[in-house]
Amino acid sequence: MSAEAADPGAPLRRRSRPRIDLRRLGRVALRGPVSRDRLPDAISHVAEAHRAHHPDADLTILRRAYVLAESSHRGQMRKSGEPYITHPLAVTLILAELGAETTTLTASLLHDTVEDTEVTLDQVKEQFGDEVCYLVDGVTKLEKVDYGAAAEPETFRKMLVATGNDVRVMSIKLADRLHNMRTLGVMRPEKQARIAKVTRDVLIPLAERLGVQALKTELEDLVFAILHPEEYEETRALIAAATGPDDPLETIADNVTHTLRDAGISAEVLIRPRHFVSVHRVRRKRGELRGTDFGRLLVLVGEDADCYAVLGELHTCFTPVISEFKDFIAAPKFNLYQSLHTAVVGPEGAVAEVLIRTHRMHKVAEAGVVALGNPYAQDPAAAPQTEPSDERADPTRPGWLSRLLDWQESATDPDTFWTTLRDDLAQDREITVFRTDGGTLGLPAGASCVDAAYAQYGDLAHTAIGARVNGRLATLSTVLSDGDTVQPLLAQDTASGPSPDWLDHARTPAARIAITGWFSDHPDQAKPDPETADTTGPGAQGEPSPEREAPVGTAPARGRSGPRSKGVVVEGPDAPVRLAGCCTPVPPDELTGFVVRGGAVTVHRRECPAVAAMQEIGRAPVGARWEDGEGRESDAGCRVTLVAESFGRPRLLADLTEAIATADAAIVSATVEPPSEQRVRHTYTLRLPDAAGLPGLMRAMRDVAGVYDVSRAQHPAPTG
């Protein structure tokens, strides 16, 4: 099955096996099984595809599975009018073309028998063994999906539980969904749209995580055709118009073939047409499409070293586009994908993208975990286990499915699970960070030391006080990069708990669910309501992330008097006003505001990084100013957050606090980061009786011996 062209009308450069004729197979299926000496005609396509990947496979069990499936489903019809047996046959053919092993194909033929017929799991176990029974039971537990909003969370929770124990269960489910999507035209348009949206939001990202690109790309095209029919037709027309004898990719492919042959490198050079969604994405990115944008060159070689030899020849004999080079062989993607990506300039300036991989890499790129065969089978050469275990090791990037299984058990509320699942699947890039004990952690891009702490220590991370990143002390909010070495630091006091602002830095479901759960168990220390919380101190929430803000276009508000908004006036009708904790504005700072969730207005200093971040995502600023002309807050005073940078020395903290007290300022909260290279950072949230005293306070703090800078806090703007 081609991963690049989901539509039978799409232009193909490489002939593939024709699709199964469901109506013809339906007629064959109705005639029932044939003699025991040969396979039934209805599964001859499956047998042919299976033998192409597994020449020595014993097909006897497939024949017996078909006989049971055909007899149990006999008389049942699909909504499209075909006999029901055509559905498990089509699903099994999809998996056979991907290279699934015999056990998976057997379970695929039987995947609906226990749910929809009188066949029991005991019968399956008796006739086909424990492994097939295990897979059929896993698929059966997913139940038929009710696409109502209330049913989705619990249904996909069960799906993940089953997948976490055996990825072949999900392989069967994905193939099942692909065939259902192919035949979705018999349903009402509104039901088509509901199914397509769930497929887009959950199943396609799961297919990506499991590396099954062949299923993912076709599902993407089918969803695209249902949810965006006009854009789909435009893309189809563009692809059809680009099909012709003068394909610039053909010329470049010939040149590459001759170059590699002259260099003595044995390689197969193919043209891989882009699927519809890929063409659509390129068009949105570049505007007008070039002739080479409708496909890519695929170079297949025998060994890993040959991949780099091909890369060297291409970069020597052609002009490379260096910015397009990516090495997914040295650093594979989290879904097993390995390949070299580059781009070269061909004749007349045509730029062609090139993928370089071995035949084995190509098989895994197409089929992902399906290409692993039975990933849970014991290696005969491996040492036997000393103790039996029911745990099945995750054959994909270590820990991915295990992590999902862990946090879904922690999320007792189905809606919380559903929201967290979708957020996690939306993370399309993963980083790897190293532990000091030599292990690794797989985290989503943008993850912080908070996420690393919970990924490594679980609930013990509640006591985290900081981290070392690449040997240097760092705060828990520090965002990690691919390849960093991280060591979370835990306090000795096991009774301590997380800080409320950790939720602003947590990106992983495990961290967010654990932190939320701790505050649920400790309501007296629960996170303040974001609409009423004091956002002026360090460690306070400050400006919510962009995705938590009110929608663009929400009406601006006029501030009303309150403990943290007195003296601030914003444009528009009455609404609560907050001073942002990220920049702690005080008179006579110039102000600007943004409407946040609930209609409140958060006011920032104009130079605050959060202001630029809000404007970049299209948020309209709200005018804000201090209430009186002199910028005084004589009744309530003013809060401000100051950061003092200093060299470490004895009595430094005492001298700083004395200088603050002498300036008649009250310390609301203070943090002192661990020394780094003899430098210490102090962060103080202070209350002054009058904003006019701020310059004098900062001068007094700078005069303390060892202090080389004092500045207003400028926390980075949060990112979504």
- The DSSP line for 311-360 is HHHHHHHSEE-GGG-EETTTS--TTS---EEEEEE-GGG-EEEEEEEEHH
pLDDT of residue 282: 87
pLDDT of residue 416: 59
Q: How far apart are CA 47 and CA 52, in angstroms?
A: 9
CA angle at 21 for the pair 76 and 230, rounded to the nearest 5°: 95
Q: How far apart are CA 441 and CA 430, in angstroms?
A: 10
Q: What are the structure tokens assigned to 406, written together?
A: 């862990």
CA dihedral 9, 11, 17, 23 (to 10 degrees): 0
pLDDT of residue 402: 56
pLDDT of residue 165: 63
Number of CB atoms found within 10 A of residue 182's CB: 17
The one-letter amino acid code at 241 reads A
Q: How far apart are CA 177 and CA 200, in angstroms?
A: 11
Mean pLDDT for the stretch of residues 596-625:
78
pLDDT of residue 323: 81
The CA R_g of the chain, rounded to the nearest whole Å, is: 31
At what angle are helices 400-410 and 509-521 packed, to 10 degrees?
Answer: 20
Mean pLDDT for the stretch of residues 304-326:
89
Q: Provide CB contacts within 8 A for 362, sequence distance 6+.
A: 298, 300
Number of CB atoms found within 10 A of residue 557's CB: 21
Mean pLDDT for the stretch of residues 296-322:
91
pLDDT of residue 607: 80
Helical spans, DSSP H, in 561-677: 609-616, 652-662
Q: What are the structure tokens assigned to 348, written together?
A: 């007349």
Q: Provide CB contacts within 8 A for 419, sequence distance 6+.
A: none
How does pLDDT run across 560-585, given as a tens digit for each residue?
Answer: 333 335 477 887 656 677 777 667 78
pLDDT over 90 percentage in the chain: 18
pLDDT of residue 524: 64
pLDDT score of 375 more than 60: no
User: Is 558:567 a contact under the CB 8 Å cutoff?
Assistant: no
Mean pLDDT for the stretch of residues 165-186:
86
Q: How far apart are CA 614 and CA 594, in angstroms?
A: 8
Residue 319, by phi and psi: left (phi above 0), alpha (psi -120 to 50) or beta? Answer: beta
Q: How far apart are CA 250 and CA 247, in angstroms?
A: 5
Contacts 24+ apart (CB under 8 A), 629-632: 630/587, 631/567, 631/587, 631/588, 631/691, 632/567, 632/587, 632/690, 632/691, 632/692
Which active-site residues does the annotation give?
115-116
Residue 280: HSE in the Cβ half-sphere, 13 Å Cα cutoff: 18
pLDDT of residue 574: 67
CA dihedral 294, 297, 298, 301 (to 10 degrees): 180
DSSP codes joined into one string, 363-402 = HHHHHGGGGGSSTTSPPTTSPPPSS-------SSSTTHHH
Is 572 or 369 the better-scoring residue by pLDDT? 369
pLDDT of residue 255: 92
Q: Provide CB contacts within 8 A for 425, sequence distance 6+.
A: 201, 202, 205, 206, 209
How does pLDDT run across 234-282, given as a tens digit for each residue?
Answer: 999 988 888 777 788 898 999 999 999 999 999 999 999 999 999 988 8
Residue 702 DSSP class? H
pLDDT of residue 302: 92
How does pLDDT run across 433-454, given as a tens digit for each residue?
Answer: 888 887 778 788 888 999 999 9
Q: Provide CB contacts within 8 A for 619, sequence distance 6+.
A: 546, 549, 552, 594, 595
User: Is 86:22 a contact under the CB 8 Å cutoff?
Assistant: yes
SS (H, E, C) 141-199: CCCCCCCCCCHHHHHHHHHHHHHHHCHHHHHHHHHHHHHHHHCHHHCCHHHHHHHHHHH
CA 9, 15, 17, 23 dihedral sign is: positive
Measured in Å, how far apart are the chain's first and last C-alpha atoms?
A: 37
pLDDT tier, 426 (very low <50, low <70, confident <90, very high otherwise)? low
How does pLDDT run across 61-108, given as a tens digit for each residue?
Answer: 998 999 999 888 888 888 878 888 889 999 999 999 999 999 999 999
pLDDT score of 633 more than 50: no
How does pLDDT run across 382-416, given as a tens digit for each residue?
Answer: 444 444 344 344 444 334 555 555 555 555 555 55
pLDDT tier, 680 (very low <50, low <70, confident <90, very high otherwise)? confident
pLDDT over 70 percentage in the chain: 72
Q: How far apart are CA 559 and CA 234, in angstroms?
A: 49
pLDDT of residue 308: 92
For the ranges 2-11, 19-28, 542-551, the maximum mean pLDDT occurs at 19-28
CA angle at 224 for the pair 223 and 229, rounded to the nearest 5°: 120
The one-letter amino acid code at 65 reads A
For the ranges 40-54, 352-366, 523-537, 588-602, the maximum mean pLDDT occurs at 352-366
Q: How far apart are CA 243 and CA 255, in angstroms?
A: 20
Q: What are the structure tokens assigned to 333, written together?
A: 């993607």
pLDDT of residue 483: 79
